[in-house]
Amino acid sequence: MKQSCELVTWQRFYALARRLAQRIDDSGFRPDLIVAIARGGYMPARILSDFLGQTNMASFRIEHYRSAQKQAAALVRYPLAADIGGRKVLLVDDVSDSGDTFEAALEHLHERGEPAQLKTAVLHHKLVSRYRPDYYACKVIKWRWIIYPWAVAEDLRGFIQAMRPVPVGSEEVSRRLFAEHGIRVAPRLLADVMGMGN
């Protein structure tokens, strides 16, 4: 199955996170709690915490994707422990794709108290999403699957396992990742992905 992808490097991620932090700061919004949607929101939330000087962080997990495969519904797996009543909350994820995750996340947050203010932020906002976050670093006009550096092994492993016929050797895997997904993967990274976690 052909699926267009973008492979984000750590350097690119940091630049996007910095841009996102600058946009939040320029808006004048000063959260007193940053909440990460796990797992994709962990890294962006941590960098925003650093740039914005806000060390109060919490998280909860929503499952919606396994690798690049969408599940039937976005489900809260590990609920938020923090009370958000009366607080200025910044809810962070890596991407707004369909909008399902944010819909489930916002419903869950309102079960944890009524915030004084609630804003949302992502690195990438896809225009196909039903939900438009308050802040984003990059607008994605033409849909593609975004592979973040903290999920690269999981995503690539999912693509490789779905290949039919089953590829023989790393050279064929590399060739097909480019042909089917438009991404070039460094040989060392590919060796790690094929060698670990299987």
pLDDT tens digits for 92-151? 999 999 999 999 999 999 999 999 999 999 999 999 999 999 999 999 999 999 999 999
φ, ψ of residue 40 in degrees (nearest 5):
-60, -30
Predicted pLDDT at 159: 93
Predicted pLDDT at 65: 57
pLDDT at 195 over 70: yes
Predicted pLDDT at 2: 79
Across the range 19-39, mean pLDDT stands at 97
pLDDT at 10 over 70: yes
Beta bridge partners of 59: 36
pLDDT at 13 over 80: yes
Burial of residue 189, with CB atoms counted within 10 A of its CB: 0-12 exposed, 13-18 middle, 19 or more buried:
middle
Task: Indicate whether this model's pTM tops 0.85.
Answer: yes
Percent of all residues in the chain with a pLDDT value above 70, rounded to a whole number: 93
pLDDT at 56 over 60: yes
Across the range 20-24, mean pLDDT stands at 98
Distance CA 192, CA 170 (A): 11
Across the range 79-101, mean pLDDT stands at 95
Q: Record the tokens describing residue 86, joined without a space.
A: 């009366």
pLDDT in tens, 166-192: 898 899 999 999 999 999 999 999 999
Predicted pLDDT at 21: 98
φ, ψ of residue 129 in degrees (nearest 5):
-65, 140
Distance CA 90, CA 35 (A): 6
pLDDT at 66 over 60: no
Average pLDDT score, the chain: 92
pLDDT at 52 over 90: yes
